[in-house]
Structure 1
């Protein structure tokens, strides 16, 4: 059974291993590489890499710190996303690196991330903290005070620390490390499912994995005026090993006039 080593300090292996086992892979963790050296969510160490770069470094380090053929890196990021700042957007990247070929497959999943914290002031009570934090089952928290920073707190621990410190100012924010964030865990599972899809997608010419759609070309003809629209006309799957490409038409035969620059300028 091929072994995949995942570089992590945050207990991601048990999320990924059961999904990859049916494909014949054994997933084990290594903490030999300090993944926090690439940056922390709480800001003590700045993030200077893109999520893709960080995932690649972790995957390659996983191989270098073991004798495994495959290394896996995982990197999460949080942005305002497509929700105009109203809801945080979480993207999870997985990078599967193969030592012998020096190649990598990237998978990802993204979506809304609901957990949010609150600002502490003189009116903050245990009840107001519970009202906010209890909405997010099993989410852990970071307590940031002028003279203290405490991570990985469940709601009971958080309330106890607040009663101890009795702060008049500070912040309570979600702990975004994977072992403390159930919603992040679910997104890592979704990214693993995307990785499985890519591993199962074999090139018809050479059999290499990750033969998936790499490009989408617009130009579907408008149903009303027949001019090209911005809607996708052709999907192109491409093999990065042998360079074979396959074009497939969209399942739609006509474009929606809503996306036509002439009919709906």
Structure 2
């Protein structure tokens, strides 16, 4: 199916963003779906900030949906795109960081929510405690400064706002001096807002491509947009002892967000390796 054939060709979708996510999302949705993207003037910081002044109170997916619905409510446009990111330890390699981006497309007229997620280890996320006068050189190389901006904030929950979006060394040194005056040290960390983190912006673009392709995929039952993988099906017999290995994926489940139609596609593997079996390898 081409963009010209899609159900949303020529439609307008609003995008709530304070941090220039439209720079990567707009061209993807325009070229792949024929959707025009309009930035909505929404304070997305109300849903949580990376620096922690405002904690995120909902799940990552629910936060993205809330942003989209807020944009729909403020503009009256029934279609919205929104994203939410989480940067933290890689679930498989805890000592490494990863970026999990979730993006949603909400069609309020159909009460339809389509979403995709993308995880990448390609994220610059540095953090270290500094005192005035400490050598910054090694940390700044690791943080890819000034291409990636930095934040300086206090170590404890004090009513002192962080200094964000730092891309100048003199500003960084002054911020460390100013914010450490009471406690002696501060936290210097990557500014993970999209417009200040080129590596995160690339991951947002990758997530947007996945979402656009899912929107272009129509349900074989009701022809609604958003057909795609909803969850894996677990459970394969152990190749050695035959016991069920519940962590092994047996099939992929595809589904529709509108009519609940489901299809199952078996994976190539019919048995699980013994090293994953709790009986063989307790």
TM class by shorter-chain length?
0.7 to 0.9
Corresponding residue for 1:78?
A: 87
2:236 aligned with 1:185? no
Relative to structure 1, the CA distance from residue 79 to residue 221 in structure 2 (aligned partners, 3 Å threshold; closer, same or farther) is: same
Alignment partners' CA distance in 1, 2:170 and 2:35 = 38
**Worse overlay, 174-183 or 223-232:** 223-232
**Worse overlay, 106-115 or 183-192:** 106-115
Corresponding residue for 2:39?
A: 29
Corresponding residue for 1:139?
A: 148
Q: Is the 8 A contact 1:223 1:255 kept in 2?
A: yes
Q: Is the 8 A contact 1:117 1:133 kept in 2?
A: no
| Structure 1 residue 148: Cα displacement | 6.5
Relative to structure 1, the CA distance from residue 264 to residue 205 in structure 2 (aligned partners, 3 Å threshold; closer, same or farther) is: same
Relative to structure 1, the CA distance from residue 215 to residue 19 in structure 2 (aligned partners, 3 Å threshold; closer, same or farther) is: same
| Structure 1 residue 165: Cα displacement | 4.6
Corresponding residue for 2:252?
A: 235
| Structure 1 residue 18: Cα displacement | 1.3
Alignment partners' CA distance in 1, 2:54 and 2:64 = 16
Relative to structure 1, the CA distance from residue 155 to residue 84 in structure 2 (aligned partners, 3 Å threshold; closer, same or farther) is: farther
2:52 aligned with 1:43? yes
Which aligned pairs between 1:159-178 and structure 2 lie closer than 5 A?
159=172, 161=174, 165=178, 168-178=184-194
Which aligned pairs between 1:58-73 and structure 2 lie closer than 5 A?
58-73=67-82
Count of residues in correspondence between the two structures:
261
Corresponding residue for 2:125?
A: 115
Relative to structure 1, the CA distance from residue 157 to residue 184 in structure 2 (aligned partners, 3 Å threshold; closer, same or farther) is: farther
Corresponding residue for 2:18?
A: 9
Report the secondary structure of 1:229's partner residue. strand
The normalised TM-score by structure 2 is 0.82
> Which consecutive residues of structure 2, in runs of 5 or more, have no partner in the other structure?
1-9
Relative to structure 1, the CA distance from residue 148 to residue 38 in structure 2 (aligned partners, 3 Å threshold; closer, same or farther) is: closer
2:211 aligned with 1:200? no
Deviations 1:31-89 (A, max 9, x none): 1x211112222222232222212111111121122242311121112333426652333
Corresponding residue for 2:264?
A: 247
**Worse overlay, 84-93 or 169-178:** 84-93
The normalised TM-score by structure 1 is 0.87
Report the secondary structure of 1:54's partner residue. helix
| Structure 1 residue 185: Cα displacement | 0.8
For the aligned residue pairs, the C-alpha RMSD in angstroms reads: 2.5
Alignment partners' CA distance in 2, 1:9 and 1:163 = 26
> Which consecutive residues of structure 1, in runs of 5 or more, have no partner in the other structure?
none
Q: Is the 8 A contact 1:39 1:47 kept in 2?
A: yes
Report the secondary structure of 2:207's partner residue. helix
